[in-house]
Structure 1
Amino acid sequence: MSTVDGAVIGTTKIIDNGPASARWNLVIMGDGYKNTQLGQFANDVRSFVNNFLGSGPFNRVPTAINVYRVDVASTDSGADDPATPTCEGTGAVARTYFDASFCGDGLPHLLVVKSRTALAVAGNQVPEWNLVMVIVNTTKYGGSGGSVAVFSLADRATEIGLHEMCHTAFGLGDEYEFYRGCGRDTDRDRHPPIEPCEANITIDGNRTTNKWRDLIAANTRMPTTQNADCRFCDPQPNPVGAGTVGAFEGAHYYHCKAYRPQFTCRMRALRNPWCAVCERRIYQTLAPYVKPVVKRVAAVTRNSGRLDAFWAGRDAKLWTNWWDQAPGGGWKEHSPIDIPIRFLAPETSVAAVAQKDRLDVFWEGRDGKIFNNWAQAPGWKWKPLMPVPIAHELDFTVPPAPGTSIAAVVRTTDNWRPVDVFWTGTDCQIWSNRRTEAPGGDWSDHAPFPIAAEFSTLPAERTGIAAVSRHSNRLDVFWAGSDGQIWSTWWEQAPDMGWRDHFPFPIARAFSTLAAQRTGIAAVARNSNHLDVFWAGSDGQIWSTWWDRAPDMGWRDHFPFPIARAFSTLAAERTGIAAVARTSNHLDVFWAGRDGKIWTNWWTPGNDWKDHPPRPIASQFSVPPAPDTGIAAVARTSGNLDVFWTGTDGNVWTNWWTPGDDWKDHPAFTI
């Protein structure tokens, strides 16, 4: 009935991903558990947490979350169950610490607790909490949102908990079209003409102004469904494919004039996946709390005797280290330095470009922008107060997608020295911006833009992006499409050759094997008239195709192929891929294998891809590559290769090759 009916016993941190000040903190408490039942409560919490962290999108950001269990003993088991005319409960009365009770607001299954008491206990036990949940020890179906998420141990306990969590923590609304039940409501015909604040509910069925319009395909009807009789719940079945995003009438407890994003969703009916809008909202809320991990590494050479590597560290800093052939310039002869940054996103990629007197590095900011810092000769000092977004602050109208790949390229060394950068936006288009040293050519002098007037097939989620300049007036960009094909578009400094003067296209007439999900992509121009592109296939092999200016050598004049006769070890899932041409007649490609090694294969005019098997690039890998590792490869001369990747220990690893020192002659090592 009140806090005299029990006691707070103690708190246990059961999922520890770092300090509470840096993570999203979930506090789970119990009500209606007697002191002798706290072992059962611990098991109930563990069951919920395992299911919670195993479901998307939480399984994409597990390191963002700490979980605390607060043991609270009650005098009695269960919850109050009023026997009112509207609720028809058993009449049971339970003396519990948080006074759990069914029949909230006169609804039989609205299970509530004294939220002020629950929040006070949570604040005392975990001051930096983000969400407070209470599990009530009863098998009767019930739950509620509000300031505290509450759920019972009914058959679908985890589902109830996840649904209520999304109300409380992520501001998502109910997508069902009734309050007391279909056929029981008489005041729920039409939603009031006020736009709901919830991300997944709208009264706007217009394609151009709808709040989730960026997720709606061009051929999807708007509104997608309409209720023919607003006195009742809409009985029609789903008229479109599962997963289609549109505007489906009937939501927010009203039969008409309120729309939900998909036909069904966990916020509409339990045991369904979340709709795309809900999933995005959850991810965007949690992503800033992700524990930084080293996944992407960039490397460049600014002269034949120098290498620079860049990576985002677990400490949310951007780091660099270098090698120089001069005495005292080895990797281990100095310490890495952290580059002044702003707002490093948790899973940012890193891209870098080198010119003879300037280094530029790019990363994704936590605030939805792409950032840049640079160092220049003489001195080569990173700008201490000058990391800048690569467009005016207000011009990032579409933020980068969380974890997007970033590609950067310098296409000419003339006086204007243009640098072009590419990334994926949250609208699933490929975006770009450019800096030159010409008047009016700075980042902030123009806005980012999509590199096509239309993407008939949207890029795949977290696709790799590759950009290459085969001569000073040309750019080609490559990415994986959501259809499993590799797509491209191009720009040329000539009339009617701009990004929006033509459409993206698949780089082959047919793909017998589709690209692997989240594959890395590499592209290289070994001369001004030839392009080679590489990616991982869904079969675990590395695939390629090519283009040449010669007749009958276009993208659609031949088919993609694996770059080996056989792969004794398949490519790791989500592997990065790097390719380099150390001469105009030599190609080397690198990827991570499923055996915890970095692999390579090579081509010359007299030695085709299938004339030799792939091989590991070291005699020993004492630490395997990290899952989802990026790979960078650099040829600082025609007789040197250096490869970089991230290990599961959070360090950046490397190995090297020269004609006199083969890959297998030395082990991989940290930089």
Structure 2
Amino acid sequence: MGTGDGAVIGTTKIVDNGPANARWNLVIMGDGYRATELGQFAANARSFVDTLFATAPFTGLRSAINVYRVDVRSADSGADDPTACGGTGAAPATYFDAAFCNNGTRRLLTVNTGTALTVAGQQVPQWNMVMVIVNSTVYGGSGGSVAVFSLAPNANEIGLHEMGHTAFGLADEYEYYLGCGVDTNRNTHPAVEPAQPNVTIDPNRATNKWRDLVAPATAMPTTRNPNCTLCDTQPNPVGAATVGAFEGADYYHCAAFRPQYNCRMRVLGQPFCAVCQRRIRQTLLPRLPANRVTSVARTSGHLDVFWVNTDGKVWSNWWDQQAGNSWGDHGAFPIARDWPVPAAHDTGVTSVARTSGHLDVFWAGTDGKVWSNWWDQIAGNGWYDHGAFPIAREFPIPAAPGTGIASVARTSGHLDVFWAGTDGKIWSNWWDQNAGAGWYDHGAFPIARDFPVQAASGSGVAAVARTSGHLDVFWAGTDGKIWSNWWDQNAGAGWYDHGAFPIAASFPVPAAPGSGVAAVARTSGHLDVFWVGTDGKIWSNWWDQIAGNGWYDHGAFPIAASFAVPAAPGTGVAAVARTSGHLDVFWVGTDGKVWSAWWDQSAGNGWYDHGVFPIAAQWPVPAVPGSGVTAVARTSGHLDVFWAGANGKVWSAWWDQSAGNGWYDHGVFSI
């Protein structure tokens, strides 16, 4: 049985994030699907892709990946299921000859690898990974040069696990081969270090291969199996996100260690552990286009824009209303002469002007630290007159991969910065111009004593100072809710004097994985927060200091009656109040356009009194699906919006209230 038992029908690019030579290309094929079942195969492939992009760290890496579906017809349905492994004896005629019972183990489902790779090469010459979905509900899968999985319950979880093997070279982290209580030769791992990044025979803190992710207070090894003839059933003695050395991995009960108590490479349905996520990111980040952008107006006639480039540097360009200082009158440039540590490709980037002549920019480095550089108009204080630096002497917990970063200047002499840590907490550090209050004069800290729910992977982080003595911070949790904590300079109102909380009593639709979060204070007593829901709509909730207008006194709501085009997964969200009674919100749609909605306090101008709209008539280059979006009102009657284009450039559009300067009166342009 083989290629004579079917035919290749054709190929469809079902996720298009750019040319094949610039992206990581996943090819999904099917086996055991008859001609009448190819519609079901298309649905199965789409279901896997949806699960993939809802899974950390892929949520924040979507823009790096293209997905191609190759339709292959088989004569029969299913896969070979030999009786030698307890199977049914079925032997259908299928194109890739899918079969259970490889190596005498029923769950090991394989296909003819040579045929699969040949077809992939013919259909998508620049493929990076080949996956075959087998039309059988019997549990099974395998890694190797081709990832294979069946349609058993949790099928997509099987696919993600096998993808970990095939695409990223990850090992199985479970401590058995045939099963706990079945194996008799899996007591002690051989004294040979595994090549895979997520298992080791070395639990020594000083030499362990993932030692940089281990907190000083974590015991090494973290667990020991008291009986090497059995699988270890002891409960997790530390937090779920704790990285350490847990005995039992790589098919052995003892002398092999895994990084976390649980991981998708050990138990289906669990998140990928930090070490596995790092390997995935290392593979995909080089294919990620520049997609995080921030902007600031330090005067009403000046704009500065910053973005993370694919070279690991933060770049900038600026515009000034004075003649000869437009976008095209000078070139973009990196904001530091030297980069001791590259900026992480998918890091958030944030900027703040604490005075009209000063800029501070913050981003996460590949070392898990938050870095900064600054500029001042005083001579000798330009970008290249000093070096970039981490904003804390120590980072007890690394910044989470893909974290959003928020910064705020609540006075002209004070800065606060916020980010998500790998422990799922929101961390902060601050600087003040007073002596003894610099970045290194105190430590970074989590902004709540307890986090009932961890921050979601890739979540946006938003911060706002509605007065000079008050801070509010917002982020998305793994429960699909938007969470917050606040600080006030009044006694008894510090970060630890109350708890983090969700900003609505209920969330009819969960926040989308990797959702951007935006917050704005249009008055000193009012807050508006915006995020992306899993339904592709932009949602909001608001708070006002007037009694009866708290977070729980009304419900979260979508900001438009309908959305002609869903918000793109992973899109940033930008919100700006150009007056105390007006709001504008921006996001990227799945059509590659930047969309907007607005609200005004005047009668007949609520969210539902008009529709959402793309902010330009023509789009020469689509926006990156997961692009950050940034907006600024440099006057009460002017808006500038910036985003990353699929061609690697930063694009912009603007609006002005003067006649003839609406969104559609001019075109978008790269800055």
Shorter-chain TM-score: what band? 0.5 to 0.7
Alignment of 1:450-529 (within 5 A): 450-529=446-525
8 Å CA contact 1:655, 1:667 repeated in 2 = yes
User: TM-score when scaled to structure 1?
Assistant: 0.67
Q: Residue in 2 aligned with 1:283?
A: 280
Q: Residue in 2 aligned with 1:654?
A: 652
Matched, 1:381 2:382: yes
Aligned residue pair count: 519
Q: 1:325 aligns with which of 321, 327, 338?
A: 321
1:296: how far off?
0.9
Could you tell me which amino acid in structure 1 is paired with residue 624 of structure 2? Answer: A
CA distance in 2 between partners of 1:629 and 1:662 (Å): 23
Q: Residue in 1 aligned with 2:408?
A: 409
Secondary structure (helix, strand or coil) at the match of 2:277 reads: helix
CA distance in 1 between partners of 2:147 and 2:622 (Å): 43
CA distance in 2 between partners of 1:597 and 1:184 (Å): 56
Matched, 1:426 2:422: yes
Secondary structure (helix, strand or coil) at the match of 1:332 reads: helix
Q: 1:546 to 1:447 in 2, by over 3 A?
A: same
8 Å CA contact 2:363, 2:371 repeated in 1 = yes
1:261: how far off?
7.0
Q: Residue in 1 aligned with 2:396?
A: 397
In the TM superposition, what whole-angstrom CA distance separates every residue of 1:250-284 from its partner, at most 9, and x where no partner exists?
A: 54555469776789877569x99885355235236
Q: Residue in 1 aligned with 2:30?
A: none
Q: Residue in 1 aligned with 2:544?
A: 548
1:286: how far off?
4.0
Q: Residue in 1 aligned with 2:611?
A: 613
1:654: how far off?
0.8
Could you tell me which amino acid in structure 1 is paired with residue 611 of structure 2? Answer: P
CA distance in 1 between partners of 2:512 and 2:328 (Å): 37
Alignment of 1:139-538 (within 5 A): 163=165, 175-177=174-176, 185=184, 188=187, 199-200=198-199, 231-232=229-230, 250-251=248-249, 254-255=252-253, 275-277=272-274, 279-283=276-280, 285-286=282-283, 290-291=286-287, 293-340=289-336, 341-342=338-339, 343-354=342-353, 355-379=355-379, 381-392=382-393, 395-413=394-412, 417-538=413-534
1:174: how far off?
5.4
Alignment of 1:42-61 (within 5 A): none
8 Å CA contact 2:359, 2:376 repeated in 1 = yes
CA distance in 2 between partners of 1:429 and 1:498 (Å): 17
Q: Residue in 2 aligned with 1:207?
A: none
CA distance in 2 between partners of 1:164 and 1:530 (Å): 51
Using the aligned pairs only, state the percent identity: 43
Q: Residue in 1 aligned with 2:117?
A: none
Question: Could you tell which deviates more after superposition, 338-347 or 555-564?
Answer: 338-347
In the TM superposition, what whole-angstrom CA distance separates every residue of 1:60-115 from its partner, at most 9, and x where no partner exists?
A: 769999xxxxxxxxxxxxxxxxxxxxxxxxxxxxxxxxxxxxx9xxxxx9xxxxxx
Secondary structure (helix, strand or coil) at the match of 1:322 reads: strand
8 Å CA contact 1:178, 1:233 repeated in 2 = no
Could you tell me which amino acid in structure 2 is paired with residue 450 of structure 1? Answer: P
Q: 1:391 to 1:455 in 2, by over 3 A?
A: same
In the TM superposition, what whole-angstrom CA distance separates every residue of 1:515-552 from its partner, at most 9, and x where no partner exists?
A: 11211111000110000011111111111110000011
Q: Residue in 2 aligned with 1:566?
A: 562
8 Å CA contact 2:173, 2:248 repeated in 1 = no
Q: 1:198 to 1:605 in 2, by over 3 A?
A: closer
1:316: how far off?
2.9
CA distance in 2 between partners of 1:512 and 1:629 (Å): 26
1:356: how far off?
1.6
Could you tell me which amino acid in structure 2 is paired with residue 644 of structure 1? Answer: F
Matched, 1:637 2:630: no
CA distance in 2 between partners of 1:433 and 1:372 (Å): 12
8 Å CA contact 1:215, 1:427 repeated in 2 = no
CA distance in 2 between partners of 1:201 and 1:224 (Å): 14
Matched, 1:666 2:666: yes
Q: 1:601 aligns with which of 594, 597, 603?
A: 597
Q: 1:191 to 1:455 in 2, by over 3 A?
A: farther
CA distance in 2 between partners of 1:244 and 1:373 (Å): 31
1:313: how far off?
1.9
CA distance in 2 between partners of 1:174 and 1:569 (Å): 41
8 Å CA contact 1:323, 1:330 repeated in 2 = yes
Q: 1:368 to 1:223 in 2, by over 3 A?
A: closer
Could you tell me which amino acid in structure 2 is paired with residue 409 of structure 1? Answer: V
Secondary structure (helix, strand or coil) at the match of 2:624 reads: coil
Could you tell me which amino acid in structure 1 is paired with residue 382 of structure 2? Answer: K
CA distance in 2 between partners of 1:230 and 1:57 (Å): 33
In the TM superposition, what whole-angstrom CA distance separates every residue of 1:23-52 from its partner, at most 9, and x where no partner exists?
A: 9xxxxxxxxxxxxxxxxxxxxxxxxxxx9x
Could you tell me which amino acid in structure 2 is paired with residue 428 of structure 1? Answer: G
CA distance in 2 between partners of 1:64 and 1:591 (Å): 19
CA distance in 2 between partners of 1:329 and 1:641 (Å): 19
CA distance in 2 between partners of 1:173 and 1:154 (Å): 14
Q: 1:480 to 1:336 in 2, by over 3 A?
A: same
CA distance in 1 between partners of 2:440 and 2:579 (Å): 37
Q: Which has the higher contact order (CA 8 A, sep 6+)?
A: 2
CA distance in 2 between partners of 1:58 and 1:233 (Å): 29
CA distance in 2 between partners of 1:402 and 1:522 (Å): 20
Unaligned 5+ segments in structure 1 are 1-14, 24-50, 66-102, 104-108, 110-149, 205-210, 217-221
1:428: how far off?
1.4
CA distance in 1 between partners of 2:400 and 2:424 (Å): 8
Could you tell me which amino acid in structure 1 is paired with residue 350 of structure 2? Answer: A
CA distance in 2 between partners of 1:594 and 1:323 (Å): 29
1:643: how far off?
0.7
Could you tell me which amino acid in structure 2 is paired with residue 649 of structure 1? Answer: N
Q: 1:511 to 1:61 in 2, by over 3 A?
A: closer
Q: 1:63 to 1:543 in 2, by over 3 A?
A: closer
Q: 1:334 to 1:432 in 2, by over 3 A?
A: same
Unaligned 5+ segments in structure 2 are 1-19, 25-48, 66-102, 109-142, 151-158, 204-209, 216-220
CA distance in 2 between partners of 1:307 and 1:633 (Å): 11
1:352: how far off?
0.4
CA distance in 2 between partners of 1:526 and 1:399 (Å): 33
8 Å CA contact 1:309, 1:320 repeated in 2 = yes
Q: Residue in 1 aligned with 2:626?
A: 628
Q: 1:639 to 1:199 in 2, by over 3 A?
A: same
Q: Residue in 2 aligned with 1:134?
A: none
CA RMSD in angstroms, aligned pairs only: 4.5
1:16: how far off?
6.0
1:569: how far off?
2.0
CA distance in 2 between partners of 1:163 and 1:435 (Å): 44
CA distance in 2 between partners of 1:664 and 1:297 (Å): 23
CA distance in 1 between partners of 2:246 and 2:615 (Å): 54
1:405: how far off?
0.9
Secondary structure (helix, strand or coil) at the match of 1:469 reads: strand
Question: Could you tell which deviates more after superposition, 465-474 or 293-302?
Answer: 293-302
User: TM-score when scaled to structure 2?
Assistant: 0.67
Q: 1:469 to 1:274 in 2, by over 3 A?
A: closer
1:155: how far off?
8.5
In the TM superposition, what whole-angstrom CA distance separates every residue of 1:625-652 from its partner, at most 9, and x where no partner exists?
A: 1121111111111111111111111111
In the TM superposition, what whole-angstrom CA distance separates every residue of 1:263-318 from its partner, at most 9, and x where no partner exists?
A: 9877569x99885355235236547x624631011110111111111112233332
Q: Rg bigger for which structure?
A: 1
